[in-house]
Chains A and B, each alone.
Chain A
Amino acid sequence: MTPKGKSVKGGNHGPAVPRTLHGIGASPGIVVGRILVLRRHTRRAGWYHLPPQQVELEVARFRRAAAMAEDELVRLRSQFAAELADSMSIIDSHILMIHDRMILDCSIEIITEQKINAEWALAQALVRIKKKFDLIADPYIKARYNDIKYVADRVFGLLSGRETDKLTAAGEQVIVVAHDFSPEETIRMRSENILGFITEKGGVTSHTAIVARSLGIPAVVGIEHITMDCASGDTVILDGLSGRVYLDPTPDQRNRFLEDEKRQRASSEELDFYTHLDSETVDGHRVRLGANIEMLDELDSVLRYGGEGIGLFRSEFDYFSRGGKPDEEVLLATYRQLLETLAPMPVTIRTLDVGGDKFSKYVHANGACYDYERNPAMGLRSIRFSLREPALFKTQVRAMLRASVYGHLRILLPMISSREEVHRVKEIMDCVRHELTRADIPFDPRVEIGIMIEVPSTVIMADTLAAEVDFFSIGTNDLIQYSLAIDRGNEYVAHMYEPFHPAVLRMIKQTVDAGHANGIEVALCGEMAGEVMTAAVLLGLGLDELSMRPPAIPHVKRLLRNSCSRQLAELGDQVLQCRDGREVREFLAAYLPWFYPQEFGEP
């Protein structure tokens, strides 16, 4: 791969128009920088027939390239070995692939039999492998063909005399954009000071994404045509959490993100120091800081950033990562690993939180097939879907209860809108407990059951609901959308999405008060928990737990440790007096720097 013609300095297409592109957040982190577009250099050595006397030489040339490719991988592996177990086993499998019969022997056979050059032979060998993999039904295993491509590309590159492919240009830190990156290229990004990367291909489970997460390189994948839509030198903001990419951002957007970035970088070393300190105020008021995750791969980062358990485990991944719906054993394996790894810290697992449409493929227990919905946000989703498909739900509940003996489990029910739903879930749970008891399968009888507070009706009824459950968890992302009637994905109204809307703040306060009056904990697990400015307000509103993406934990912990409970309560009182979102922001802009100069600059 080589940089595309243009130099990295200076954008190149007319007046820049800010654009937002949506991809898949593969590895969290926000970075701002110039783009370097990398194109796979199809430096065609050409495909040609060989004179008979050259066949031997060609085979030797191919063997040499394969051996060199292997050497490269072995060397890469040795540089990192200890710290990155996941990444290493991926490289190990690539090493094996290089001298696999289907690549090595097969290519050599084709060279000798057809008397053609090595590049052509390898391409043919790949086609044969591809045919075999196309027959595999399981999407996870099928996707491993990508790994074979990476390995073959490496050999292609060496055959055609590629120069060492530099990822950086002129020493400037860049955000690299390409059709795809191999896991090995991703590993190298760390030593080459790449800020982050964007690709056209890929998903959350690709090996490239796994490596990016383990190295902490922000990445967005799956943006089609991105290599066409931007050019080297363009400025871009990459948000690896939301999967959003802002091309040619406005000066405002840019400054805001740059400031965040600067602040984060300046404090990242200091933040490491906070990882293992208690999360409490100077006067000893404790607030639990948990992690939001959706995959087992992320457990490492929970521990690395000092998460005190998991405040939100999104359980959907097991349902979509492979062909059919997962059976109880698969779910149990996931839940058990979560609980065992973090015990005795609490692990909050949210039951399936998706729309029925996503299941049309394989939920046919009663012959039902779910149609397209005109308004899915208010349709058959989350707990409503689970209650409509009790067999599916029971399997998940059984797996959770069986896992409960391995640690501290809390079950979280999403999108509850009435007391009746809680009762129906409890009936199902009782039924499952009964079955388990009868089958002599152990489970923890004290598993806590909580509900998400994300539909406004539950805020209003929070005092009643608090008597029914063991904890509340406020899901602000949806609560804001439902209460302000704003679809964040709608470009015309997205700007009206306002976490500091006094209605939102009062709802949070009301929920906290109702919970505490009934002696239950109130947690909050929306994006608001992971931003220092909103987190300060939330601490002021008296939440017992904030749960956020793992890298945000040390930031919020430092904020908490620099607070005292009286001052937080005062902050909470003050924001509740404000009449609109702007007043809240103005108040905070004036107030926060006095108490948190590190986070918000000297007043």
Chain B
Amino acid sequence: MKPLEKELTVNNPNGVHGRVASHLARIAGTYDATVHLVYEKTAIDCTAILDVLSMGLVYGTRLKIRIGGREREKAMAEVEKLFSRRDDP
């Protein structure tokens, strides 16, 4: 099964901060899917909130999301929704 990949932009004015990162981790934990965030040639597992935070992803950053697993489509839809939001989840 080929993983899904999509390029997304951070739309939250405060960047990927605590609450955004924890929502991302929750998505990764809810579905039968592995969610990776690829930025500057590093792929990180989105269940690891500190890894995500320490990337320092500010507003406007372009990044890639890679999702494998049975429910990858559902998970991708959720992740896309999260990144398109301007307010905090």
Cβ A144 vs Cβ B53 within 8 A: yes
Q: Which residues of A contact B37 (CB under 8 A)?
A: none
Cα A503 to Cα B13 with chains together (Å): 45
Give A residues with C-beta under 8 Å from B. 89-90, 92-93, 96-97, 100-103, 129, 132-133, 135-138, 140-142, 144, 147-148, 207, 318, 321-323, 326-327, 329-330, 333-334, 337
| Pair A93/B19 contact, Cβ less than 8 Å | yes
Question: Which 5 pairs from chain A and chain B are nearest by CB?
Answer: A136-B56, A93-B22, A132-B54, A93-B18, A333-B86
Tell whether, in the assembled complex, residue B58 and residue A100 are in contact, meaning their CB atoms are under 8 Å apart.
no
Chain A to chain B contacts (Cβ below 8 Å), 5 pairs: A135-B54, A141-B16, A141-B53, A148-B50, A333-B86
Which of A322, A329, A333, A334 is the one whose CB lies under 8 Å from B58? A322
Residue of A with least CB distance to B19: A89
- Report the minimal beta-carbon distance from A84 to chain B, rounded to whole angstroms: 14
Q: Out of A100, A207, A327, A333, name the residue touching B49 (CB < 8 Å).
A: A100
Distance in angstroms from B39 CB to nearest chain A CB is 13
The residues of B that contact A138 with a CB separation of less than 8 Å are 15, 56, 58
B18 touches which one: A90, A129, A322, A327 (CB < 8 A)? A90
A141's partner among B15, B22, B25 (CB-CB below 8 A) is: B15
Q: Which residue of B lies closest to A332 (CB)?
A: B86
Q: Which residues of B contact A89 (CB under 8 A)?
A: 19, 22, 88-89
| CB of B17 within 8 Å of the partner chain | yes
Q: Is there an interface contact between A333 and B15, defined as CB atoms closer than 8 Å? A: no
Which one of A92, A129, A327 has the highest number of Cβ atoms from chain B below 10 Å of its Cβ? A92
A144 near B25 (CB under 8 angstroms)? no
The total of chain B residues at the interface (CB under 8 A) is 27
Give chain A nearest CB distance to B32 CB in angstroms. Answer: 19
Q: Is there an interface contact between A93 and B21, defined as CB atoms closer than 8 Å?
A: yes
Complex CA distance for A329 and B84, rounded to whole angstroms: 13
- Inter-chain pairs besides A89-B88, A337-B87, 20 sampled, C-beta below 8 Å: A93-B19, A93-B21, A96-B21, A96-B26, A96-B49, A100-B51, A101-B51, A102-B54, A129-B50, A138-B15, A140-B17, A141-B17, A141-B58, A144-B17, A321-B14, A327-B60, A329-B13, A330-B13, A333-B86, A334-B13
Taking Cβ atoms with an 8 Å cutoff, the residues of B that contact A are: 13-19, 21-22, 25-26, 45, 48-51, 53-54, 56-60, 86-89
Q: State the CA gap A90–B18 with chains docked (Å).
A: 7
Compute how far the CA of A207 lies from the CA of B51 in the bound complex, rounded to whole angstroms. 20
Check A136–B54 contact: CB distance below 8 A.
yes
Q: A326, B13: Cβ atoms under 8 Å?
A: yes
Which B residue sits closest to A92, measured CB to CB? B22
Least CB distance from A355 to B in Å reads 24
Q: Roughly how many angstroms separate A129 CA and B51 CA in the complex, as a whole number?
A: 9
Q: Which residues of B have CB within 8 Å of A136?
A: 54, 56
Asked if A102 contacts B88 (CB within 8 A), the reply is: no
Taking CB atoms, residues of chain B closer than 8 Å to A144 are 17-18, 53
Alpha-carbon separation in the docked complex, A326 to B25 (Å)? 28
Q: Which of A101, A141, A142, A333 contacts B57 (CB 8 A)?
A: A141
Q: Name A322's contact: one of B14, B19, B50 (CB within 8 Å).
A: B14
Known: A97-B50, A100-B48. A323 touches B58 (CB 8 A): yes
A89 to B25, CA, bound (A): 13
Q: Nearest CB to that of B49 among chain A residues?
A: A96
CA distance in complex: A53, B89 (Å): 46
Residue B87 contacts which of A129, A207, A333 (CB distance < 8 angstroms)?
A: A333
Within the assembled complex, what's the spacing in Å between the Cα atoms of A141 and B15?
7
Smallest CB gap from A146: residue in B: B18
Within the complex, what minimum Cβ distance (angstroms) separates A184 from chain B?
14
Residues A102 and B50 in contact, CB atoms below 8 Å apart: yes
The answer for the CA separation of A93 and B54 in the assembled complex, in Å, is 14
